[in-house]
């Protein structure tokens, strides 16, 4: 195994503060640690026993076992960890409360009225989401994060009935624009953008599961999953929430 470059060598006797890169997220999925490098749109995983060494790195212990140091070296060289405070964040796994209810079930009483404004806003949301994804997943997620941080929202709390009406409008119109199946990220970005135009905040969640590996994303807010069902995402462990 190759040695660390001088710039990543810690001072003898001093605890090294290992940090996640700002664009990296992780979670424990069973006995595996899964990482998402958002800038490279790449998932990677480490299994036992290496995954069990992460708590020691997160606590920045001054005395690390050789196998823990070897893991730190691999993660540093892989671009997942850093010791630079300016580029890193604490090694904290994502914690997202699981939604308990679907906002929309498959049985609903007809479609809501659709205005010209709704059509134009959905077209805008589709164009913005598609363009953001062409720039890369990192840019698309950063847009959601910045919008949620900066937006002045119409509703102080999540309005289930209004959100339900707007989501049904999207369901009604989307066959004219795109197919939602197998495009969970695009679909979630469009819906997030569309609801934000009506002053409604949503949380974009990425989840993963093992055996075999699979990644999925959805929107949720205040205990509701907005574009899916709790049963469908129950086996996914959240790795990123924006």
CA distance 47 to 77: 18
Half-sphere exposure of 57 (CA within 13 A, CB side): 28
Spatial distance between the Cα atoms of 34 and 32, rounded to a whole number of angstroms = 6
User: Which residue ranges make up each domain of the chain?
Assistant: 6-89, 101-241
Which two three-digit tokens encode residue 108? 């609903």
**What is the C-alpha to C-alpha distance for residues 156 and 19, in angstroms, rounded to an integer?**
34
- Tokens coding 231: 């049963």
Q: Does residue 215 come out as left (phi exceeding 0), alpha (psi in the -120 to 50 range) or beta? A: beta
Beta partners for 21? 88
Q: What are 198-208's pLDDT values in tens digits?
A: 999 999 999 99
Least confident range of 61-65, 66-70, 122-126 = 61-65
- Whose tokens are 């914690």? That residue is 95
The predicted model scores a pTM of: 0.86
Interstrand relation of 88-89 and 101-102 (parallel, antiparallel or unpaired) = unpaired
Q: Binning pLDDT at 50, 70 and 90, where does residue 7 land?
A: very low
CB 204: neighbour CB atoms within 10 A? 21
pLDDT for position 60: 65
Ranges of H-type helices in 10-136:
54-58, 66-77, 116-135
Instruction: Give the least confident one: 63-72, 101-110, 172-181.
Output: 101-110
Residues 139-170: pLDDT tens digits? Answer: 999 999 988 887 666 777 899 999 999 999 99
CA-wise closest residue to 98 among 242, 239, 241, 234: 234
């Amino acid at each position: 195994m190759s040695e660390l470059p001088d710039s990543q060598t810690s001072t003898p006797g001093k605890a090294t503060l290992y940090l996640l890169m700002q664009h990296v997220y992780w979670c424990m999925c069973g006995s595996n640690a899964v990482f998402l490098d958002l800038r490279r749109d790449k998932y990677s995983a480490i299994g036992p026993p290496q995954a069990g060494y992460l708590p020691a790195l997160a606590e920045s212990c001054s005395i690390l076992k050789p196998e823990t140091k070897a893991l730190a070296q691999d993660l540093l060289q892989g671009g997942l960890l850093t010791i630079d405070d300016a580029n890193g964040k604490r090694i904290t796994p994502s914690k997202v409360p699981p939604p308990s209810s679907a906002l929309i079930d498959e049985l609903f009483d007809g479609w809501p009225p659709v205005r010209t404004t709704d059509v134009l806003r959905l077209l805008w949301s589709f164009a913005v989401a598609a363009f953001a994804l062409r720039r890369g997943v990192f840019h698309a997620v950063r847009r959601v994060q910045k919008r949620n941080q900066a937006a002045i929202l119409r509703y102080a709390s999540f309005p289930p009935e209004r959100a339900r009406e707007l989501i049904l409008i999207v369901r009604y119109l989307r066959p004219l624009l795109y197919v939602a199946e197998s495009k969970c990220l695009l679909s979630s970005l469009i819906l997030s953008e569309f609801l934000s135009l009506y002053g409604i905040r949503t949380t974009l969640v990425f989840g993963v599961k093992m055996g075999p590996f699979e990644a999925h994303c959805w929107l949720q807010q205040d205990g509701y999953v907005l574009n899916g069902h709790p049963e469908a995402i129950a086996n996914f462990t959240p790795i990123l929430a924006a």
